[in-house]
Structure 1
Amino acid sequence: MANFQQFFYQLVREIFTVSTTLFKVLIPAIICVKILEELGLVYYIGLAISPLMQWVGLPESMGLVWATTIFTNIYAGLIILANTPLDTPLTIAQASILGTMMLLAHALPVEAAIARKAGISLWITLLVRVGGGLLLGILLNVLYSSGDYFATPAHSLLHFEVSTDTSLVGWAKDQIVGLFIILAVISVLLFTLKILRILRIEKLIAIALRPFLKVLGISQQATSLTLIGITLGLSFGGGLLINEAQNGKIAARDVFTSIMLLNLLHSLIEDTLLILMIGADFYTIFWGRLIFAVSVIFIMTRLLDLLSEENRQRFFYRSVVKNSPG
C-alpha cells in the first residue's frame, strides 16, 4: 500500500511539474497565434511555408503547426494542430509525415543551445534537424504516394469540437477545453512512462541500440550517456555528455557524433507515444526515425573522416574541455 501511495504521489507531482512548465509556454503561444489570426498574419505565414508543405504532401496550414513545434515544443505544436480547422481530416500517411517532422525538429531554441554548449556548430544542428525533418518528410511522401499507402483518415486522440461561438469569450472557452485535453494526455503519457520504466523497457531499448552506436563509431565512454539521451531526452543525455566533455573524459569527435545522433533521436519512448496521439503509424515514427537517424549520422561521420581535424574543429565542432584553448 505504501508503495502504491508513493507511486501515486510521484505521478501527481510529475504531472503538476510538467504541466506547469508546459503551460507557461503553451498559453503565450496560444495567445500569440490568436493575435496573428486577428491581424491576418497566419494566412501569410502559411503562404510563406506552403511550398514546403506541398513537398511533403501536407495541407498549407500544417506549416504553422511545424513552425510552432520548431520554436517551442511538440506539445505546443499539437495544441495548434487541434485548433487548426481542416476541410478533410489528415490521413494516416499525412499524420505520420507531420509527426516525423515534429519529432526531428522541435524546441530548437533550447535544444540547439544544448548542442552548442557541447561544442557543436549551430549551423550543422539546424541543417540536420530542420533539413533532416524536411528530407524525411519528402521521402515518406514519395513512398506513401507511390502505392497510396495509409490513405485512410487518421484517428487523432487530440480532436475536439470547437464551438460556433466566434467571440473572444467563446475562443477562450475552447482553449481551456484544449488545455484540459492536453493535461489528460500528459497524465496518461507520464503514467505509461512510469509503467514502462517499472517493466525495464528502457533498458531493453538501450540493449537493442548498442549495435547501432558501435556502427557509428561512438566510443564506449560515450555509449552509455548517448543511450540515456536516446531514451530519456536530449537535455538528460546532452547535459551528461557536456559534463564529461568539459572534464576531458570524452573526445570532441565522440561528443559531436553522439550529440548529432541525439539531435535526431532522443526521447524515443515519450515522443513516440506523444505523436501516436495524432494517429501516426508506429513503424514510421519509431523505426523510420531510427533508421533515418542512424543512416544520416553514419554518412556524416564517413564524410567527416575525409577532413583534417583542423577543418573539423573549424566548421563542425570544438573542444569544450575546461581551460582548453579551443
Structure 2
Amino acid sequence: MSSPFGKFCRELLVEIRTVSFTLFRIMIPVILVVKLLELLGGVALLGKMLAPLMALVGLPESMGLVWAATMASNIYAGMLVFFTQTQQDALTVAQVTVLGAMMLVAHGLPVEARIAQKAGVRLRATLLLRIGGGLLFGWLLHLAYREGGWLQQPNMLLWQPQAQDSSLGGWLLMQGKSLLMVQLVIVVLLTTLKILRLIGVERLMFWLLQPLLKLLGIGGQATTITIIGVTLGLSFGGGLLIREAQTGQIPKRDVFAAMAFLGLCHSLIEDTLLVMLLGAHLSGILWARLAFSLICIALLTRWMDRRSDGFQHRHLIYRE
C-alpha cells in the first residue's frame, strides 16, 4: 500500500509531465517559425505596416518596428529594438509610457495566441482583442497625457542593454535558457498549487476573488486560471492554463472571459518592471492598464451574454 506522500509525488510528476509536454509542443514550433520569419524580413515588414498607426498614439513611425518586434517575439526583443532607434532619446515620458502600455497589452502573440486557442479562444478574437486593445489603450493614454499636460518631460532611460550575441548559436542558447526557466516555473507552480489545494488556501483565494470576478462577469471556477495568468503570464503559466480550461469543469464562456482578461492584463509584476526600465511611468503601465482591462472585460462579458450560443461558437469560442 503506497503512502500518501508517495501518491502525492506520483500525481505531481504526472501533472508536470502533462503540462510541460502541452506547453512545449506549442512553444518550440512557434519559436522556430517566428525566427524564420524574422530572418526573412517579416518583422521589419510588420513594422512598416504599423508605422502609419503610430501617429494615432503620438509616437514617431520608428516605434512601429519596436511594437512589431514585441508582438512577434516578446518584450525583451521589443526593448532591444527600442535601443537601436535614433529617436528614442527625444521621446517624452508620456510617449514611452504609451509605447510601454501597448507592448504590455500586445506581445508574444504567436505563442500566447496559440495558448489561448488551445484553451478554447478563437485566434481572431485574441488578435482583435490584443492588437485592437493595445491601440485603443495607447490612444486613450496619449489623449489623457496630452490634454492633461502630464509627463511631458524628456524621458530618462533606467537601463542600457549589454551587447547581445546575434549569431544563430547565441539565439539557440538564449532560447534553451528560456525553456529551462519555463520548466522550472512549471515545477514550482504545480507543486505550490497542489500544496495550497491540500491545505485549503485555494478555496480561500476563490472566496476572496469572487467579488472581482463577479464584477467582470467571470465564474468562480475560472479563479485559478485568472490567478496564474495575472501573476505569471500566459507563456509561463500556459500549460497549466490549458489543462485547467480543458478539464471541462469550467464553462467555455468563463474560459473565454478569463483568457480575454489575461490577454489585456497578465504578468503584472515581471512585465511591468521590464517596461519601467525604458522610463515608462507606473500610472499608465500598471494602474491605467488594470482599470482599462477591468472596464473592457466587464463590458465584453455583458455584450457576450446578449449574443447567441451560435454567435459565440462562430466568433469567440474555439472548438478543436
1:166 is aligned to none
What RMSD over aligned residues (CA atoms) do the two structures have, in Å?
Answer: 3.8
Which AA in structure 2 matches 1:70? M
Q: State the SS of the aligned residue for 2:300.
A: helix
Counterpart CA distance in 1 for 2:165 and 2:207 is: 42
Q: Structure 1: any 5+ residue segments left out of the alignment?
A: 1-20, 162-173, 198-202, 321-326
1:111-169 Cα shifts (integer Å, max 9, x gaps): 000011111111110000000000111111111111221011122123479xxxxxxxx
Matches within 5 A, 1:1-326: 47-86=48-87, 88-159=89-160, 175=164, 211-318=211-318
Tell me, in whole angstroms, the C-alpha distance in 1 between the residues paired with 2:207 and 2:96: 30
CA contact (8 A) 1:230 1:262 kept: yes
Give 2:311's aligned amino acid: N
Task: Check 1:247–1:175 CA distance in 2 against 1; reply closer, same or farther (3 A cut).
Answer: closer
| Contact persistence 1:206–1:227 (CA under 8 A) | no
Q: Distance in 1 between matches of 2:86 and 2:275?
A: 19
Distance 2:150 2:64 in 1: 23
Shift of 1:318: 3.8
CA distance in 2 between counterparts of 1:206 and 1:78 reads 36
TM-score by length of 2: 0.71
Provide TM-score, normalisation by structure 1. Answer: 0.70
Secondary structure (helix, strand or coil) at the match of 2:86 reads coil
Q: Which amino acid aligns with 1:309?
A: D
Distance 2:68 2:265 in 1: 19
**Whole-angstrom distance in 2 between the partners of 1:289 and 1:280:** 13
CA distance in 1, matches of 2:79, 2:49: 21
Distance 1:230 1:208 in 2: 15
Deviation at 1:103, TM superposition (A): 0.2
- Identical-pair percentage: 47
Contact 2:213–2:220 (Cα < 8 Å) also in 1: no
Q: Give 1:46 deviation, angstroms.
A: 5.3
Aligned length: 264
- The whole-number CA distance in structure 2 between the counterparts of 1:46 and 1:126 is 16
| More contact order relative to length (CA 8 Å, sep ≥ 6) | 2
CA 1:147–1:223: 2 relative to 1, 3 Å: same
Whole-angstrom CA distance in 1 between matches of 2:82 and 2:206: 32
Confirm or deny: 8 A CA contact 2:48 2:65 kept in the other structure.
Answer: no
CA apart distance, 1:59: 1.2
Give secondary structure in 2 for the equivalent of 1:128. Answer: helix
CA distance 1:143–1:207, change in 2 (3 Å):
farther
CA distance in 2, matches of 1:100, 1:213: 23
Deviations 1:61-107 (A, max 9, x none): 10000000000000000001111112743211011000000000000
**Residues in 2 aligned to 1:46 and 1:316: alpha-carbon distance in whole angstroms:** 28
CA pair 279-56 structure 1, distance change in 2 beyond 3 A: same
Task: Describe the shift of the 1:158–1:176 C-alpha distance in structure 2 as closer, same or farther (beyond 3 A).
Answer: farther
